[in-house]
Amino acid sequence: MQIKFDTALITGSSRGLGRQIAVKLATEGVKKIAIHYRTGKSAAETTLSLIEGYGASGVLVQGDVADAAVAQSLVNEAAQKLGGCDIFVQSVCPPLGEIYQHVMATELSLQKWQLAFDTQARAFFLGARTAAKFMRGGGRIIALSYTQGAKTGGWQPWVGMGPAKAAMDSIARYFAVALGRFGVTVNTVSPGMSDGGLMLQTPQEFQNVIKEWAESGWTPMGRRGTLQDSADICALLCSDEARFFTGHALSVDGGSSLMNSDFPLALQLPGIGA
């Protein structure tokens, strides 16, 4: 894998998957990386020290991407500090408590629903559009999505994020067409249920059920994903080898999205459903 680009901004990179992506890009030779945070400066400084350990230099940028003006200004700030912005990755996700509530809850907050759109679809639209100004020599734009949550309705408390992620996937396709002539690729990466990141904010009982579900066969590869699984795919999309791949939503889920909810699991496992 060869990444030819020198500068990158990863929003939401103070922790979780955003941090893992920053570290992975540093290990693959990206020289200058902007680490973004909203309130967790100490966590962002930890990410900064990690990428510096792999030979990259870094800068910190702070701001709440739920604010439309900030979603644009922090990209400009990062590009100014880095001397460009060849790679833009949106990995922001608000804390679960700020967005997570059952669709039929009597106290369902419109603010929570709106926050999902503001931090996902709108922030991606504004951030990608701003970053693209610095990519006339080619570039990579990636957003972390959750395509299954956008297509289905079973995970009820995801009612704000699901539609927001669907809009994000759609926006990526529009940008892919608009920016293709500049050598810029635009894709979304959709991690499955992983053993880190957002899942760590759920109750342990929830995490245990997900683990059992994955290992039972609903994930053909027999385990939950890791943050590293998704970070590796993001780095691959930033590579020169992925220069002709654009406008797609990649599911990094070990094959779980291939399973058919119309059939019992026992009929889908090898040797039974054949």
**Rounded to an integer, what distance in angstroms lies between the CA atom of residue 85 and that of residue 51?**
17
> What is the DSSP annotation of 190-211?
EE-SBSSGGGGGS-HHHHHHHH
For the chain, give the longest Cα–Cα distance: 59
Q: What is the pLDDT of residue 205?
A: 78
**Paired residues of 252 in beta bridges:** 191
Q: What is the pLDDT of residue 111?
A: 83
Q: What are 166's two structure tokens?
A: 């669907």
Q: What is the pLDDT of residue 201?
A: 65
Which of 128, 135, 148 is CA-nearest to residue 243? 135
What does DSSP assign to residue 252? E
Options 3.40.50.720, 3.40.50.2000, 3.40.50.1100, 3.40.80.10; CATH for 7-267 is: 3.40.50.720
Q: What is the pLDDT of residue 104?
A: 57
Residues of the chain with pLDDT below 70 are: 96, 98, 100-108, 196-202, 271-274
Dihedral Cα 21, 22, 26, 32, nearest 10 deg = 140
**Rounded to an integer, what distance in angstroms lies between the CA atom of residue 80 and that of residue 52?**
19
Q: Is there a contact between 113 and 159 (Cβ–Cβ < 8 Å)?
A: yes
Q: What is the pLDDT of residue 193?
A: 75
Residue partners of 197: CB distance under 8 A and separation at least 6: 16, 17, 93, 191, 227
**Rounded to an integer, what distance in angstroms lies between the CA atom of residue 25 and that of residue 140?**
12
Burial bucket for residue 205 (CB in 10 Å: 0-12, 13-18, 19+): exposed
Q: What is the pLDDT of residue 80?
A: 98
Q: What is the pLDDT of residue 102?
A: 60
Domain residue ranges in the chain: 7-267
